[in-house]
Amino acid sequence: MISEKMQEALNEQVNKEFYSAYMYLAMSAYSNTIGLPGFANWMRMQYEEEIMHVTKMYDYIQDQGGVVTLKAIEQPPLEYGTPVEVFEQTLEHEQYVTSLIHKLMDLAVQEKDYATQTFLQWYVTEQVEEEANVNDILSPLRMVGEDKGGLMMIDQQLNGRAAPAPLPA
C-alpha cells in the first residue's frame, strides 16, 4: 500500500504523462501541417508510447491500493516553429519529465517505499533512453539546418518509426 503523499505525487505524474501524450499528438498534427509526415509519424508513435507510460502508472496506483484521480489536461501549443525547434522543445520536455521522475524517486526513498522505488526505476531508465533518442535526431537536424534535401532525408527516416511494443506487465 502506498502512502497518501506518494499516491498524490503519482497522480500528479499521471497528469503530466497525459500532458506529454497530448503534446506529442499536437506536435504530430503540427508536423503534418508543415508537410513533414515522417516527423508527424515519429511524434504520433511518441504519443502512443506516452499513453503506455501513463497506463502503467495508473495501473500501479490501483495495484497498490491507491485511488487514481484524473485531472484536467493543459492544452498544448498549436505551433512549434522549425523542425529543429520542435525537437529542441521535445528534448527540453523530456528533461523536465526526467526531473519529475527523479523527484518521485526522492519521495519514494524518503517514504521508504521500496515497491515504488523499484517501480520507478523503470521510468528512470526509460528517461535516459528518451533523451538519447531525441538527441540522436536533434544532432543531424542541427547539421542540416534549413537544407530541404537533408530535412527530407531525416523526414523519411522518421517515417520508419514503428508503434512501440507493449510494455511488460
Residue ranges of domains in the chain: 4-158
% of the chain at pLDDT higher than 70: 98
> Is residue 165 over pLDDT 80?
no
Once rounded to an integer, what is the mean pLDDT over residues 131-144?
A: 96
Once rounded to an integer, what is the mean pLDDT over residues 148-166?
A: 87
d(CA 41, CA 28): 7
* 24-56 per-position pLDDT tens digit: 999 999 999 999 999 999 999 999 999 999 999
**What would you measure as the largest C-alpha separation in the chain, in angstroms?**
55
Cβ neighbours, 10 Å, residue 147: 11
Q: Which CATH superfamily is domain 4-158 in?
A: Ferritin, core subunit, four-helix bundle (1.20.1260.10)
Contact of 26 with 142, CB cutoff 8 Å:
no
Q: Under the phi-then-psi rule, with left for phi > 0, alpha for psi from -120 to 50, and beta for the rest, what region is 12?
A: alpha
Higher pLDDT, 66 or 146: 66
